[in-house]
Amino acid sequence: MAIKIEKKIKGYAVVKPEDKAAPAAAPAAPKAAKPEPKQAEVIQMHESVERPEQLIGSTFKIKSPLFEHALYVTINDIVLNAGTPHEQRRPFEIFINSKNMDHFQWIVALTRIISAVFRKGGDVTFLAEEMKAVFDPRGGYFKSGGVYMPSIVAEIGAVIEQHMKNIGLIHDPEMDESTRKLIAEKRAAYEQAASGKKAEAAPAEAAGETSASGFPPGATLCAKCNTQALVLMDGCQTCLNCGYSKCG
């Protein structure tokens, strides 16, 4: 049957025999999308997190021979996602107070910068290591326990590190039982050897005498834990605090 074309042809396409045989495929019905599981809205630490009316925190006392008066370091924390499995406690701000006003200017600047880093979010544990690496050109000092502090800033960093350990932000690897037992045996052997050498000494130098740090007198500074607990045993320098030995 002839078909008369009354309009102008603007385009054409060649129809193959197989195209005529294949029935027009009906458009497939879209599959029903599976409902996504409801996820908890996890709040992360960032600058837009507003300060609550009440914060929890801890105050640490620093008594340094470089300062006439003690420093009191207060670190306040914010609790994120309270009451959920994602609950976590993060440091939010820090304050340092003292009767000594000689260093008020740099202390205020330090606390404002640290607080700003806390509120920025992310991994803030690097602050402790950076501050502990600050050295005083006049020399450091030993605090209670025989731990060497190279500067007052380093001790503030040690306080921040201790606070982060307390809230679970830094996990201190625990010493295994075998290492504890080895250190106890080495300390007992050292004290026994020292008691033999001091048998004829004055009563003040009797066996079992320890320094103010709790370790034998004459102990030197350990390069690993910065504690005055390194003694010479069997021709090898051994730390009675962390078990470090130069002989392996």
pLDDT in tens, 128-182: 999 999 999 988 888 877 788 999 999 999 999 999 999 988 887 766 677 777 7
Residues 158-168: tens digit of each pLDDT: 999 999 999 98
Q: Quick check: 206 pLDDT over 60?
A: no
The predicted-structure confidence for 44-101, as pLDDT tens digits, reads as follows 888 888 899 999 999 999 998 888 889 999 999 999 988 888 889 999 999 999 998 8
Q: Where are the domains of the chain?
A: 56-166, 174-195+207-248
User: Three-state SS string across the chain, please?
Assistant: CCCCCCCCCCCCCCCCHHHHHCCCCCCCCCCCCCCCCCCCCCCCCCCCCCCCCCCEEEEEEECCCCCCCCEEEEEEEEEECCCCCCCEEEEEEEEEECCCCCCHHHHHHHHHHHHHHHHHCCCCCHHHHHHHCCCCCCCCEECCCCEEECCHHHHHHHHHHHHHHHCCCCCCCCCCHHHHHHHHHHHHHHHHHHHHHCCCCCHHHCCCCCCCCCCCCCCEECCCCCEEEEEEECCEEEECCCCCECCC
Question: Taking the model in full, what pTM does it have?
Answer: 0.64
